[in-house]
Structure 1
């Protein structure tokens, strides 16, 4: 690649030198035809570059290009031409042949972050310079499967949103919120497996504590998902956990507003009386006793810890005001 590129650059430099001499002669009046000849030289020098070397006008910067295993060099060159990466499949093949790399092409996904000329493309194919840099993705605490699907679909071209949702919905709450690094060619299956494996790895660190707490993991995760939405600091989460576990033990309604955010997309101050009395909503904890049928999002490790280390101060009621301050009471009269 480099010898051929240097050869072409040498031709261009020599042409530029000749062109400079012709232009100087034209200015000095020593050659009446020098200007015309100069134009012809420019045309001869630039035409091959314009037609074959420089990037196409519609170069697919940022797009993934898959060179499938088993493709011949001719097929690869034609693929890159049809995708708008190079202007001429012949010139790409010739460039690779001249550098002796016709048997060294690398298969896989390529990403060119900006328009590149045929020399760069040929070198990338020959050396396996895929251009895939890890992308940093933050999955927020409390995120739902659908929110994750929206996040990843905006980042990855190979991410199938509908397929991810179908596969992930049964795992709601079990996809760990964290910072992840994925290559640009990540697909929905890889994302799902990575998030679930992260959850399993984190939950394994609390295996003894969860077993000692004595409640099923399913209940712990559901409770933690409620706490994630209901409070924003560790102490309030533990206090609210104490309230909710106590209410469950006394067969009381949980009356957790955060569950409506999951089922209806409404926050506390947007709820109507009809919402609060809707028995068709399985997540309506104002009507249905016990925990909701499933998690309402992916809880953080802190929320899971709060669920298994509740602070039981005898409180049965709590209320968060518009300033985010949570107030606790032991009696309904106090709560009012």
Structure 2
């Protein structure tokens, strides 16, 4: 009798242990190589089995079989809901199954800070580092014509945002800031394109406001007398060099970005100008035509 009781106790113990192990596997265990800060897109028409196989291959789950079983139980047989799912931390098999069954996308906005003076290439790097699966090359191609008109600021983007939406948000911000300055631009007598290009050149030519004001006055004077601007900042688009690495031979390179070679400001934009509210300021001093755009 004692032996039977002892055996029965062990059976209960093993059964409880087995149940706890299963619960731990479903609710607690998280794959060691779980991909963090990753966006998973589930397309319409994709089956539960295909989704389960993909998640197992990418280490989101440890068992495609149990994912399918849990998903059918939690979704009532509806399967996985199509959409973009963002995973910012490791999660258990049960949690992943429940999220895809209920459409819990986890698309909490991500803070993206774009510093003043950033080029579109620098913006693309920031976006790729901050947003999972961001199409950097597509952004560069679509933003090329908008460089200088994308406002530097702090943005809150969903993790699955597309390049076109980022460009639209930044351009709208630029235009919103511009509305309070339209009269000043008109009074200055220069086109918006000329003003923005000049401001973008000054971003690399100087850092202090007073220095930018002085240089701006000199450059507008050169334009007025039909003299080349002769600035070094545009050479980053010619051969990647700056003021400290340029040689006399570099100044002879035939390139539309060579402001020693070509006159005017139709060279294209290099950098996003500084805070736009400060951009248009006019002053007088030792330099004639000292109009400041910083």
Q: Same fold (TM over 0.5)?
A: yes
Is 1:239 the counterpart of 2:225? The answer is no
Distance 1:312 1:257, change over 3 A: farther
Which whole-Å deviations, capped at 9, do the CAs of 1:17-50 have from their partners, x for residues lacking one?
xxxxxxxx99xxx94x689758844763366457
The match for 1:178 is 153
Is 1:284 the counterpart of 2:263? The answer is no
Aligned mate of 2:249, from 274, 279, 285:
274
Q: 1:280 Cα deviation (Å)?
A: 0.6
Answer yes or no: is the 8 Å Cα contact 2:75–2:102 preserved in 1. Answer: no
Q: Secondary structure at 1:268's aligned position in 2?
A: coil
The match for 1:195 is 170
For the pair shown, which has the larger CA radius of gyration, 1 or 2?
Answer: 1
Answer yes or no: is the 8 Å Cα contact 2:48–2:79 preserved in 1. Answer: no
Q: Secondary structure at 2:152's aligned position in 1?
A: coil
> Higher RCO, 1 or 2 (CA under 8 Å, sep at least 6)?
2
Q: Secondary structure at 1:232's aligned position in 2?
A: coil
Q: Secondary structure at 1:296's aligned position in 2?
A: coil
The match for 1:118 is 93
Alignment of 1:102-251 (within 5 A): 102-103=77-78, 106-251=81-226
Q: Give the alignment's TM-score, normalised by structure 1.
A: 0.71
Matches of 1:160 and 1:120, distance apart in 2: 28
Q: Secondary structure at 2:84's aligned position in 1?
A: strand
Answer yes or no: is the 8 Å Cα contact 1:139–1:177 preserved in 2. Answer: yes
Q: Secondary structure at 1:65's aligned position in 2?
A: strand
Q: 1:217 Cα deviation (Å)?
A: 1.0
- How many residue pairs match? The answer is 286
Matches of 1:285 and 1:62, distance apart in 2: 43
Matches of 2:206 and 2:93, distance apart in 1: 56
Answer yes or no: is the 8 Å Cα contact 2:110–2:131 preserved in 1. Answer: no
The match for 1:333 is none
Is 1:299 the counterpart of 2:273? The answer is yes
Q: Say what the alpha-carbon RMSD is for the aligned residues.
A: 3.3
Which whole-Å deviations, capped at 9, do the CAs of 1:50-90 have from their partners, x for residues lacking one?
77663445433332122234555565555544544334445
Distance 1:148 1:234, change over 3 A: same
Q: Give the alignment's TM-score, normalised by structure 2.
A: 0.80
Which whole-Å deviations, capped at 9, do the CAs of 1:109-130 have from their partners, x for residues lacking one?
1123333223222332344332
Matches of 2:20 and 2:66, distance apart in 1: 16
Distance 1:118 1:264, change over 3 A: same
The match for 2:282 is 310
Matches of 1:44 and 1:56, distance apart in 2: 20
Distance 1:280 1:65, change over 3 A: same
